[in-house]
Amino acid sequence: MTIEKGEDWGGRGRLPADAPVVDADAALAASWSADDPDRVVGLLAGDLHRTVGGRGTVQQLRNEERTVLPIDIGILTLPDGTERPFVAHVVRRRRFWAGTTLAVMNASFVGEWNVAPRGHPNDGRLDVVEAKLSFSDRRKAASRLPAGAHVPHPDISIRRLKRGTFEVASGDRLIVDGEPITASGQIEWTVVPDALSILI
């Protein structure tokens, strides 16, 4: 069940002996299987890890009772029909962040930037952040992003959606869970609620 306002989230548990421990968002996404929604994966690092306040060593994750959190994931459908899961974010941008930047967020953070400060990785929706800023406003936003203070802003919109589409044009960069991928044309995405659980 996805989280509802005012409800407790997650619980306590131990990592199954055969469960993987990963240290990157892309590795967590790659471990997901639609056939195994009860899967538990230990998470040591990454933007999703930071979002949920994770900490602990691999030894602690392997040997101690820890916090277990159910999370949603996103699925990208690329123009050639390939599907790619993601757990933290998809970013479409241009060089120097010029033009319109778009981020589809399951985590709050992209690196040090708190891009979607009100986002939650288990609410059944993804935060779609879209910004078209002047050079001056991009500099101001960059200084405010670590604290999540870049919003509200008239040229930054945040929508919380279950599915959507966006275009990747020539000159755009597409980065999925921190990894650049090559694609152009219309990209579709959807959210899979309660896709797996992480132990932190």
pLDDT digits (tens, 9 = 90+) for 9-29: 889 999 999 999 999 999 999
Going from the C-alpha of 125 to that of each of 106, 118, 136, 164, the distances in angstroms are: 8, 12, 32, 11
Residue 3 has pLDDT above 60, yes or no: no
134 within domain boundaries: yes
Tell me: do 106 and 127 sit in the same domain: yes
Range of the domain at 183: 75-192
Tell me: do 20 and 102 sit in the same domain: no
Tell me: do 63 and 109 sit in the same domain: no
The predicted pLDDT at position 2 comes to: 61
For residues 127 and 7, which has the higher predicted lDDT (pLDDT)?
127
Tell me: do 155 and 64 sit in the same domain: no
Tell me: do 147 and 90 sit in the same domain: yes
Instruction: Confirm whether pTM is higher than 0.85.
Output: yes
Mean per-residue pLDDT, 35-54 = 95
Give me the number of domains the chain comprises: 2
The predicted pLDDT at position 179 comes to: 97
200 within domain boundaries: no
Tell me: do 155 and 168 sit in the same domain: yes
Tell me: do 109 and 63 sit in the same domain: no
If phi over 0 gives left and psi between -120 and 50 gives alpha, with beta otherwise, what is residue 67? beta
